[in-house]
């Protein structure tokens, strides 16, 4: 026989169908008894030969649970009979006997396993395992470390009760229940999401999760083990929602959470009701989660189902929805305030992203004077943006002095219009700044800074007869204006509710597997 190897051996995992098959166990001690019990549970017809059976083996023999031979291993009697075994376990406390069993079995083409150091000469190994209702899990290190496989097995056994049944939840705050000042404090930028995601990955009972962060909402969607409130409380702490008033965020579960996601994707819960930016934002959120291994098949199926339902909602609300994107609302607000009635109005647009570009293109059709301020990369001109004068950030004061209407559409974590820019705002005409940034591009109280300065200058004897007013319109104010002017929200909610109820079958967790039940630790099997 070859010398035993010290490294692990590559193995192939299988689950044997032993019901009604003959299996021989050579040995009757503690190790053999564990094998015998598991074999009986699998439905095998178990024969045992041992000169000195242990207490449990003797009891099984006395109760006719096994075919017992009170003797040493005999190849002719044990292997060359009409009850020729389908497989054999060599589980004595004598390595030489176990080696003999392996030799005799392999000579006859009978699969054999040794429970001692001879295992590498056999045909298979029995991994560390445990059983639950409708579930069994096995762990193997290829024979390299029984201790490691047992540790992993026991760890998994403790985690399995946290695996079923699954629940889909959302922890959410949005413009309907919290104002912009509240949400800004809890806004999760890329760095904060990465930190929170790393913490959530280590929370037992959280299987998959996605952050959906927009200018209107901060939401954490997750697939968790149902019935464990401690999991939800932990998630709230990680994203700091435990510092929010209970009325400023919601926690929804199951079908309610699914319906919430469908409404979000349909734009029903957006401040600009029916807007479609949320669709691409959700795609990016789920893409980020998949890239970071936060999201798997389950939460993706929930998302796909909600997306399908959201399309149905959009189709049915379309006839009653006055649909606009955020850039349309911003321009409509400006038009309602009379800015475009005066052909001499100068407009500045800060930012060259999607929203900034869309605003410049729409302004280009109206042909006002436009400053387009870029930070790093000069925008490429198109048919409708050629009317705009592109200037670098260093020349921002020029645009601020000349403009009566300013749109800010910049990405960033800090305001870019603050005290340093106050002196550049025109003092001989009213100025309106429409801030479309999240977080806000314009510092809190900026309008007051400008207006106080104008009043002071006027009192000091300047030629300004009446101190001109600076007004800052943030995203939330703008969207509330739109909702109040254009939308019958209650009717849209009723339509969405009917669609979600009708399309309930698209919620994938409605028909999930049953709980596998508690783990049976009495049947844990070592490698």
pLDDT at res. 513: 46
What is the spatial distance between Cα 484 and Cα 494, in angstroms, rounded to a whole number? 18
pLDDT at res. 155: 72
Does position 361 have pLDDT exceeding 70, yes or no?
Answer: yes
**Which of 169, 270, 340 has its CA nearest to residue 493?**
270
What is the spatial distance between Cα 98 and Cα 117, in angstroms, rounded to a whole number? 9
Encoding tokens for residue 382?
């198109």
User: In this structure, what is the dihedral angle of CA atoms 97, 100, 105, 111, given to the nearest 10 degrees?
Assistant: 60
Q: What is the CA radius of gyration of the chain?
A: 36
pLDDT at res. 185: 80
Does position 349 have pLDDT exceeding 60, yes or no?
Answer: yes
Q: What's phi and psi for 132, nearest 5 deg? A: -135, 180
pTM for this predicted structure? 0.53
> Hey, which bits of 393-469 come out as E strands?
405-408, 431-435
pLDDT tens column, 237-258: 999 998 888 899 999 999 999 9
What is the spatial distance between Cα 154 and Cα 526, in angstroms, rounded to a whole number? 10
For residue 387, what is the DSSP state? T
For 234-280, the DSSP string reads: HHHHHTTGGGS-GGG-EEEEHHHHHHHHHHHHTTTTSSSTT-SHHHH
Find out whether 113 and 124 touch, Cβ atoms under 8 Å: yes
What is the spatial distance between Cα 474 and Cα 477, in angstroms, rounded to a whole number? 5
pLDDT at res. 235: 96
Give 433's strand partners.
406, 472
What is the spatial distance between Cα 425 and Cα 403, in angstroms, rounded to a whole number? 8
Coil/strand/helix, residue 282 = helix
pLDDT at res. 456: 55
Placement of tokens 């006395």 in the chain: 62
Residue-averaged pLDDT of the chain: 85
- Map out the domains of the chain with their CATH numbers: 22-126 (3.40.50.720), 166-322+490-511 (3.30.460.30), 326-481 (3.40.50.720)
Encoding tokens for residue 507?
């919620």
Average pLDDT for 507-518: 63
Is 373 or 128 the better-scoring residue by pLDDT? 373
pLDDT tens column, 456-504: 554 444 444 444 589 999 988 887 788 777 777 888 899 999 999 999 9
Full strand arrangement of the beta sheet holding 206-213: 206-213, 217-225, 166-174, 250-253
pLDDT tens column, 381-424: 777 677 789 999 999 999 999 999 999 999 888 999 999 999 99
């Amino acid at each position: 026989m070859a010398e035993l190897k010290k490294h692990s051996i590559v193995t192939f995992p299988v689950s044997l169908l032993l019901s009604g098959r003959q299996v021989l166990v050579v040995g009757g001690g503690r190790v053999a008894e564990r094998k015998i019990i598991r074999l009986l549970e699998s439905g095998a017809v178990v024969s045992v030969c041992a000169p000195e059976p242990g207490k449990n083996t003797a009891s099984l023999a006395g109760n006719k649970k096994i075919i017992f031979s009170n003797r040493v291993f005999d190849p002719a009697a044990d292997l060359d009979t009409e009850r020729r075994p389908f497989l054999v376990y060599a589980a004595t406390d004598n390595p030489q006997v176990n080696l003999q069993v392996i030799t005799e079995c392999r000579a006859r083409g009978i699969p054999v396993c040794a429970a001692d150091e001879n295992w590498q000469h056999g045909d298979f190994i029995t991994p560390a395992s445990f059983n639950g209702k409708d579930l069994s899990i096995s762990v193997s290190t290829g024979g390299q470390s029984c201790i490691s496989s047992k540790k992993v097995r026991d760890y998994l056994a403790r985690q399995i009760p946290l695996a079923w049944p699954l629940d889909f939840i959302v922890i959410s705050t949005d413009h309907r229940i919290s104002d912009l000042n509240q949400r800004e404090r809890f806004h999760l930028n890329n760095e904060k999401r990465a930190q929170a995601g790393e913490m959530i990955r280590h929370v037992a009972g959280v299987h998959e999760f996605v952050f959906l962060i927009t200018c209107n909402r901060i939401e954490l969607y997750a697939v968790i083990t149902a019935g464990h409130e401690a999991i939800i409380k932990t998630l709230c702490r990680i994203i700091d929602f435990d510092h929010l008033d209970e009325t400023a965020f919601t926690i929804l579960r199951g079908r309610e959470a699914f319906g919430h996601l469908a409404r979000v994707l349909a734009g029903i819960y957006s401040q600009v009701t029916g807007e479609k930016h949320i669709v691409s934002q959700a795609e990016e959120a789920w893409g980020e989660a998949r890239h970071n291994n936060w999201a798997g098949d389950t939460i993706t199926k929930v998302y796909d189902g909600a997306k399908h339902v959201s399309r149905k909602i959009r189709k049915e609300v379309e006839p009653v929805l006055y649909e606009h994107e955020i850039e349309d609302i911003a321009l409509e607000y400006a038009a309602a305030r009379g800015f475009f009635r005066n052909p001499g109005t100068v407009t500045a647009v800060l930012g060259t992203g999607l929203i900034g570009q869309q605003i410049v293109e729409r302004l280009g059709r109206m042909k006002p004077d436009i400053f387009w301020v870029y930070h790093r990369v000069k925008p490429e001109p198109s048919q409708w943006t050629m009317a705009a004068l592109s200037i670098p950030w260093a020349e921002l004061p020029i645009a601020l002095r000349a403009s009566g209407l300013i749109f800010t559409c910049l990405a960033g974590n800090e305001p870019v219009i603050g005290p340093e820019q106050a002196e550049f705002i025109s003092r001989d005409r009213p100025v309106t700044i429409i801030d479309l940034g999240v977080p806000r591009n314009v510092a809190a109280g900026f309008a007051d800074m400008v207006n106080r300065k104008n009043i002071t200058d006027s009192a000091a004897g300047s030629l300004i007869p009446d101190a001109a007013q600076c007004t800052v319109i943030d995203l939330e104010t703008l969207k509330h204006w739109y909702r109040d002017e254009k939308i019958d929200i209650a009717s849209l909610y009723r339509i969405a509710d009917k669609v979600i109820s009708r399309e309930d079958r698209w919620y994938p967790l409605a028909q999930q597997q049953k709980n596998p039940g508690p783990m049976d630790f009495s049947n844990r099997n070592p490698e």
